[in-house]
Amino acid sequence: MAALSNVTRNSKVLIQVIGKNRTFSCSAVQHGSGKRVGFIGLGNMGGPMALNLLNKGNSVTVYDVYPEAMSKLQNAGAAIGHSPAEVAEKSDTIITMLPNSTHVQEAYAGENGVFQTAKPGSLLIDSSTIDPSVSKEMASLAEKKAMTFIDAPVSGGVMAAKAGTLTFMVGGPEKEFANAKAVLEHVGKNIVYCGSVGSGQAAKICNNMLLAINMVGTAEAMNLGVRLGLDPKLLSNIINTSSGRSWSSEIYNPVPGVLPNVPASNNYEGGFGTALMMKDLGLAQSSATRSNSAIPLGSLAHQLYRLMSVRGYAKKDFSSIYQFLQKSENSN
Ligand code: NAD
């Protein structure tokens, strides 16, 4: 049985045990993918995702423009790259988790970008939330170099990134989905194939537009109720057992003190920043313009989040719309 101790964590192995007059074999599915994974963008989401990849036995090389983010991962056992190109040199699969479209274009197609050094056959997975047209542009550049680029934005937030329970919405060639899933399963729970490249982003943009609309509505209703003299916990219990219920009212209530462990009860720190929500609503707006779709409430939510961003809420969690409404009224 000594062979068992030599089993690497990174591979699917056939173990053959030869005992007295009998031979049997069994297969052991190990955690790691056996591939070298590069990770670019180690912020609120990317940091814990890269850590989970390491903890699942992958060999991980990381890069972030912010050196402190890299040293945390280095201490946990990751190798450091000094540019996206250096990460690509040392990896077969590369995951990016960057703020917006411009950062993604720079990380892949920039001077020291992934396309400079990645090998033909590399799998490039972008999990940032960006414009679907940029995902398509990157996929076409990748194809010219015999690489595959897929979009795989996530839902679930920082808590799910830490717990490894993210949902991935994947767009790209269907034949590559199994390969992407094998890696993404180390950081997520639901890996959903949405269609050709860009369709993961399309699904993500629609979800986040609805999330913003629901959050604005929840904040408005809660604020009105409090001003009418209702206890916010009581009102939230009623809403959550009535037809006004949503994820924003039940799981992520925007009123401080209604729920523990949500940004609203922590001065709107952590969570999903107002600036990122504003960006996602901007993506919904341009996608709606391109597809000639009417999104009146999405547009209104976009303007509200823009206003909040310039009024000092950019880094606060997006549920701070409740505080923004309250303060707007109090200043009258
Ligand atoms: P973040 O700002 O915390 O992290 C981004 C990281 O990328 C930072 O560490 C930054 O230094 C780094 N970076 C920027 N430009 C870079 C470059 N050119 N090369 C290398 N590193 C670079 O953002 P986040 O909250 O981790 O979000 C990342 C993406 O995930 C965004 O597109 C966001 O919309 C999406 N997202 C976020 C959440 C959330 O709850 N925070 C949830 C779902 C999706």
Identify the pLDDT of residue 60.
Answer: 98
> Is residue 128 in contact with ligand 1, taking CB distance under 6 Å?
yes
Q: Please tell me if the CB atom of residue 106 comes closer than 6 angstroms to any atom of ligand 1.
A: yes
Q: Decide if pLDDT at 91 tops 90.
A: yes
Query: Quick check: CB of 32 below 6 Å from ligand 1?
Result: no
The predicted pLDDT at position 330 comes to 62
Residue 40 near ligand 1, beta carbon < 6 Å? yes
* Tens-digit pLDDT profile for residues 240-294: 999 999 999 999 999 999 999 899 999 999 889 999 999 999 999 999 999 999 9
User: Would the CB of 230 count as within 6 Å of ligand 1?
Assistant: no
pLDDT of 331 above 80 = no
pLDDT at 271: 85
Cβ of 97 less than 6 Å from ligand 1:
yes
Atom in ligand 1 nearest the alpha carbon of residue 100: 32
pTM: 0.86
- Ligand 1 geometric centre to CA of 231 (Å): 37
Q: What is the pLDDT of residues 99-135, one digit of tens each?
A: 999 999 999 999 999 999 999 999 999 999 999 999 9
Q: Give yes or no for residue 37 having a pLDDT over 60.
A: yes
Could you give the 3-state DSSP secondary structure of residue 25?
Answer: strand
Choosing from 97, 106, 215, 252 the residue with most ligand 1 atoms within 8 A of its CB, the one to mutate for a pocket test is 97
Helices (DSSP H) in the chain: which residue ranges? Answer: 2-5, 46-55, 67-75, 84-89, 101-109, 114-117, 132-144, 157-163, 177-184, 199-227, 232-240, 247-250, 274-291, 296-308, 321-330
204 classed as catalytic:
yes
Q: Residue 235 contacts by C-beta under 8 Å, 6 or more apart in sequence?
A: 221, 222, 225, 226
**Per-residue confidence band for 328, with pLDDT thresholds at 50, 70 and 90:** confident
Q: What pLDDT sits at residue 11?
A: 37
Overall average pLDDT of the 314-328 stretch: 95
pLDDT of res. 332: 52
41 CA from centroid of ligand 1 (Å)? 6
Give me the percent of the chain exceeding a pLDDT of 90: 85
| 70 CA to centre of ligand 1 in angstroms | 14
Which residue is associated with the tokens 């599915």? 29
Is 148 a pocket residue for ligand 1 (Cβ < 6 Å)? Answer: no
List, as one string, the DSSP characters of 34-82: SSEEEEE--STTHHHHHHHHHHTT-EEEEE-SSHHHHHHHHHTT-EE-S
* Per-chain mean pLDDT for the chain: 90
Token code pair at residue 55 = 């903890």
- Which of the following is catalytic: 204, 233, 279, 315? 204
* Model pLDDT for residues 299-309, shown as the tens digit of each residue: 999 999 999 99
pLDDT (mean) for 200-205: 98
| Residue identifier of the C-alpha nearest atom 13 of ligand 1 | 41
